[in-house]
């Protein structure tokens, strides 16, 4: 069997196996809430150590204790008991049904010990991860985004190689990777918007640095693919596209770090000191990343095969013209 | 449970997007293969 066909078959098998495993794990194994949200919503701290601030709705207030439900942490949608040890009478600080912030320490065994209780200025302001089931989108959204970054990284590498060494192979690889990467980026943007609707109450916010920078990245690679679509035919197109691919890649690190340095509700749970994944969530995420990487490799291989066939057509046409 | 609907929609859209892209690639490959076959026939026919 031809080596290339064998690689294609292996890639398809790996993609199908890992996609199935990710689906089963995301549906039946992954925890509803993959992130330790206290560290996402609040300052950088371990929630069992330093003081943290938790948003919740007062469910039951009696004496100096209260119960919060629909809290932002540690498990949204559940109720936790809070022991208040701060100054003043708790009944003058909060009432049943109030949306409040409590500041204190959380211990998985002893519960939450609050030193401060304050009424939230804006009860509708998103508290963080409030939609536990939708958080499962995480296991597909993050791998899709990462795969698009990988694909655009391949565009960068191949574009540099093309500019330095020339050669049709690098151009074909860059073009194929850009198209497949754009598809994954589109999937990440749409799934992210659906998740945003569940968590934040809206699909999109143009003032959010992460969302805006990702949109710019998406536009850049739409432009790249449009340049290569064949609408404009000129021998300098591969070179122009290679320069565009190198410059366009700059949007990838900007998109990645945007939520870390500018205003964004988008959480930083991967490669971040403020987000912690449970081991179950981490396992499912890794499965998802592998699954999407194999899907990417499969599609990349198919896409390059098409481009090779296009080259073959051009060669045949030239041959035909020569013979005529 | 909050967010169930969004999860199913996102899951469906993600895989629908990938499947549509695979179908697009397949259709494109098939069209190109036909064109190559035709060109080869024309070239071979010319030689005969």
A294-321 pLDDT per residue, tens: 999 999 999 999 988 988 888 888 888 8
Query: Tell me, what DSSP letter sits at residue A277?
Result: B
| Residue A238 and residue A162 in contact, taking contact as beta carbons nearer than 8 Å | yes
Asked if B18 contacts A183 with a C-beta cutoff of 8 angstroms, the reply is: yes
CB-CB under 8 Å, A303 with B17 = no
What average pLDDT does chain A have?
Answer: 79
Q: Which residue of A has its CA nearest to B10?
A: A191
- The mean pLDDT value for B32-48 works out to 83
Task: Name the residue facing B1 among A133, A313, A323 (closest C-beta).
Answer: A133
Across the interface, do B2 and A299 touch by the CB < 8 Å criterion? no
Q: Would you state the pLDDT for residue B4?
A: 77
DSSP states along A32-80: S--B-HHHHHSSSS-TTTS-EEEEEEEEEEETTEEEEES-SSSSTTS-E
B28 touches chain A (CB under 8 A): yes
- Position A43 confidence tier, pLDDT thresholds 50, 70, 90: very low
What is the C-alpha separation between B33 and A310, in angstroms, rounded?
Answer: 9
- Do the strands A99-107 and A80-84 form a parallel or antiparallel pair, or are they unpaired? unpaired
* Burial category of A303 from C-beta neighbours within 10 Å (exposed 0-12, middle 13-18, buried 19 and up): buried
In whole angstroms, what is the distance from residue B38 CA to residue B5 CA?
49
Question: What's the pTM?
Answer: 0.73
Question: Mean of the pLDDT values across residues B19-25?
Answer: 92
Residue A39: pLDDT band with limits 50, 70, 90: very low
**Dist. CA A67–CA A79, nearest whole Å:** 6
- Look at residue A34 in the predicted model and tell me its pLDDT: 46
| Cα–Cα distance list, A44 to A108, A165, A179, A274, B17 (Å) | 18, 47, 38, 5, 37
Does ipTM come in above 0.90?
Answer: no
Indicate the pairing of strand A99-107 with strand A52-62.
Answer: antiparallel
Is residue A176 over pLDDT 50? Answer: yes
Rounded to whole angstroms, the Cα distance separating A148 from A12 reads 19
For residue A77, the chain B residues in CB contact (below 8 A) are: 1-2
Is the CB of A312 less than 8 angstroms away from the CB of B11?
A: no
Q: What is the C-alpha separation between A219 and A214, in angstroms, rounded?
A: 9
Residue with tokens 């990838």: A252
Q: Do B17 and A187 touch (CB under 8 A)?
A: yes
* Cα distance between residue A106 and residue A204, in whole Å: 33
pLDDT score for A218: 95
| Selection from A309, A171, A291, A191 nearest residue A240 by Cα | A171
Q: How confident is the model at residue A128 (pLDDT cuts 50, 70, 90)?
A: very low
* CATH for A38-119, options being 3.40.50.300, 2.40.50.320, 1.10.580.10, 3.40.50.800: 2.40.50.320
Span of A59-63, A71-75, A194-198 with lowest mean pLDDT? A71-75
**Phi, psi angle pair for A316, to nearest 5°:** -65, -40
Check residues A49 and A23 and name the one with the higher pLDDT. Answer: A23
> Per residue in A231-272, pLDDT tens?
556 778 888 889 988 998 888 888 888 766 666 667 665 554
Q: Find the range with the poorest average confidence among A119-123, A248-252, B3-7.
A: A119-123
CA angle A280, A259, A117 (to 5 degrees): 75
Give dist(CA A87, CA A105) in Å, integer. Answer: 16
Which tokens belong to A32? 């509803």
How many residues are present in chain B?
A: 48
Alpha-helical (H) ranges within A85-137 are: 90-93
Of all residues in chain B, the percent with pLDDT exceeding 90 is: 42
Nearest to B17 among A23, A77, A186 (CB): A186
Residue B24 at interface with chain A, using a CB cutoff of 8 Å: no
Q: Where in chain A is the domain with CATH 2.40.50.320?
A: 38-119
**A169 has a pLDDT exceeding 80:** yes
Min Cα–Cα distance to chain A from B30, Å: 9
For residue A140, which residues of chain B lie inside 8 Å, CB to CB? 10-11, 14
- Looking at chain A, the whole-number percentage of residues with pLDDT higher than 70 is 76
Shortest CA gap B39–chain A (Å): 7
Q: What are phi and psi of A82, to 5 degrees?
A: -120, 125
pLDDT higher for A273 or A23?
A: A23
Q: Which of B2, B21, B22 sits opposite A130 (nearest CB)?
A: B2
Residues of chain A in contact with residue B24, where contact means CB-CB under 8 angstroms, are none
Measured between CA atoms, how close is A128 to chain B, in angstroms? 14
B46 touches chain A (CB under 8 A): yes
Chain B interface, mutation test: which of A306, A308, A321, A322, most B Cβ atoms within 10 Å? A306
């Amino acid at each position: 069997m031809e080596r290339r066909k064998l690689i294609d078959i292996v890639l398809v098998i790996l993609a199908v196996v890992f996609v199935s495993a990710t689906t089963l794990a995301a549906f039946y194994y992954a925890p509803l809430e993959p992130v330790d949200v206290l560290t996402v919503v609040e300052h950088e701290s371990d929630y069992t150590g330093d003081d943290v601030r938790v948003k919740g709705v007062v469910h039951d207030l009696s004496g100096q204790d209260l119960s919060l439900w629909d809290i932002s942490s540690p498990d949204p949608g559940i109720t936790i008991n809070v022991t208040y040890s701060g100054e003043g009478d708790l009944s003058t600080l909060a009432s049943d049904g109030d949306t409040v912030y409590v500041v204190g320490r959380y211990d998985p065994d002893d519960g939450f010990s609050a030193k401060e209780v304050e009424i939230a200025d804006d009860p509708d302001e998103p508290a963080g991860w409030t939609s536990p089931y939708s958080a499962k989108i995480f296991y597909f959204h993050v791998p899709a985004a990462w795969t698009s970054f990988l694909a655009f990284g391949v565009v960068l590498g191949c574009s540099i190689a093309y500019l330095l060494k020339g050669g049709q192979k690098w151009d074909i690889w860059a073009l194929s990777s850009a198209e497949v990467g754009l598809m994954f980026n589109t999937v990440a943007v749409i799934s992210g918007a659906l998740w945003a609707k569940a968590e934040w109450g809206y699909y999109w916010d143009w003032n959010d640095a992460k969302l805006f920078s990702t949109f710019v990245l998406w536009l850049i690679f739409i432009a790249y693919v449009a340049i290569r679509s064949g609408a404009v035919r000129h021998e300098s197109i591969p070179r122009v596209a290679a320069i565009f691919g190198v410059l366009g890649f700059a949007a990838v690190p900007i998109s990645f770090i945007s939520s870390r340095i500018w205003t964004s509700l988008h959480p930083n749970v991967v490669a971040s000191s403020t987000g912690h994944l449970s081991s179950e969530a981490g396992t499912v995420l890794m499965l998802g990343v592998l699954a999407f990487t194999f899907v990417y490799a499969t599609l990349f291989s198919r896409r390059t095969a098409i481009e090779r066939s296009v080259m073959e057509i051009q060669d045949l046409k030239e041959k035909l013209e020569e013979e005529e | 449970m909050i967010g169930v609907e969004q999860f199913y929609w996102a899951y469906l859209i993600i895989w629908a997007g990938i499947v549509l892209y695979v179908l697009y690639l397949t259709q494109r490959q098939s069209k190109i293969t036909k064109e190559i076959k035709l060109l080869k026939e024309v070239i071979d026919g010319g030689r005969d």
